[in-house]
Chain A
């Protein structure tokens, strides 16, 4: 090894120090904690205290069910919307491009607390603008916070609003990296724009869309702030309690760190499993 290459360790050291202390050690530590009963002092090894309990806990299955419903509906809806936004924003015929980009990308910079507050007011049963507008077109008011299916729909709407633009930015960058001459032959052969999109654009975009899907799965798997603030701690009656919120309650309200760690590792395993499933479904069949 050349002498000058030793300098690399100096440049890397501060970053690795933070990484080791606040990531590597916690990854190991929470894995170990998931096998410990942390409600006795000192903590003792116990498989049943956390893992045994987890698979018999109706609250866990409720949170798992809610998280999966949100994930299965929200991720495809959002990625479809984001793809449409990106394709339309990429059109050479578009006027006032800056304004449309602002409209779709602005939610990306809005903090979770700020948008949670707005959504709570907009969807209020009696005074919310959404119900007033629904009434205006002859639809009865929906009690967004008192009925579990409506509350779930509200969470899905909120998360989609917040994150569609983020994914559209990534997909748009992918679209812009497709060279224009790919389409030239197709245009000369009078292949319609829609067929060009299905047979040329989509296959080229597939890796990027898969990347967005996996990022979104990991994100939605950890959904916490929205059910915490918008639907008031997973209400009504646990109807929107997600795995993230369930973990927060166990870890930071009941201070049962071992049980919370088991939930965290379950989330990680599910995220990896679903991501792999997506990679498998989206693989190139050659």
Chain B
């Protein structure tokens, strides 16, 4: 018995001996982001090793605001992410419901095409999307341009379809016998039951919109219509710019989403793991 507990102890020790250094390495860039954000530029570019935060965070933020209208960019990013998430969850839930609970002509074709897009590089569609929105509709630098083209989402539909198809059919049949309309069955019975799945999907979609870089970079280039990642990205690589300010901006982009991540870790992980569940 004692040899068994000793071997368990050795296994536990070696497990932590691998994990603790790995975790420190993994947390290090995040830690440095917060440290840099609180340091004055002369501290960031000092020859000493600086590993502890300083007190210049708000100074850095106002330097950033002087370089680019970051507060406005944050407001745009938040608004876009909220509207995008609501619309996208609604669209994918409706489509997932249709694919899960009805039989209709063309259903397997629709599913096959949606599945096919998962392996398709985004670059195949982004060029025509840009031509269509910017040149044909002349809608560059608009809210619609930011929100609507990214609405299509393949994994979300499959995720919602799976949630709806696992619900017992009797639930909906009983309502139909009583003459409840199909859209009411969806809104009043199915959607409330799918709430946990919708929550996981909403978090992933919000994150995707919040961090989206390439599409907003292409389509909204006018100052005053930049999203926060694009506004920050334009400063990286410039010479006369406050690096403390850039890092304060990086913290403003990262901290809210990290807090959401800590609070809703289970939903986050469920949403990401769903990518693997067919």
Contacts and interface: CB of A to CB of B under 8 A. Distances in A.
Contact of A224 (B16, B97, B214, B260): B214
B172 to A, nearest CB: 10
Contact of A113 (B131, B157, B176, B233): B233
A113 B253 contact: yes
Interface in B113-136: 113-114, 117, 119-132
Given A88-B19, A105-B261, A121-B247, A23 B182 contact: no
Main secondary structure of the interface of A (DSSP, over half): helix
Contact of A275 (B119, B132, B149, B211): B119
B32 A111 contact: no
A106 B230 CA distance: 22
B29 A122 contact: yes
Report the interface size class on chain A: 35 or more
Contacts of A161: 26, 29
Contacts of A85: 22
B78 interface: no
B129 A264 contact: no
A16 interface: yes
A8 B182 CA distance: 9
B58 interface: no
Interface string B237-253: 10000010011011101
Given A27-B120, A100-B19, A211-B276, A121 B243 contact: yes
A54 interface: no
Given A11-B186, A22-B151, A110 B127 contact: no
A114 B22 contact: no
The 10 residue pairs across chains A and B that have the minimum distance between CB atoms: A26-B128, A8-B102, A173-B273, A15-B95, A114-B250, A111-B211, A11-B98, A103-B23, A7-B182, A26-B125
15 contacts: A11-B95, A14-B95, A22-B129, A93-B12, A103-B24, A104-B22, A110-B257, A114-B229, A114-B253, A115-B250, A117-B250, A118-B247, A161-B26, A232-B237, A251-B127
Interface of B: 8, 11-12, 15-16, 18-19, 22-24, 26-27, 29-30, 32-33, 36, 44-47, 49-51, 91-92, 94-95, 97-99, 101-105, 107, 110, 113-114, 117, 119-132, 148-149, 151-152, 157, 176, 182-183, 186, 207, 210-211, 213-214, 218, 229-230, 232-233, 236-237, 243, 246-247, 249-251, 253-254, 257-258, 260-262, 265, 268-269, 272-273, 275-277
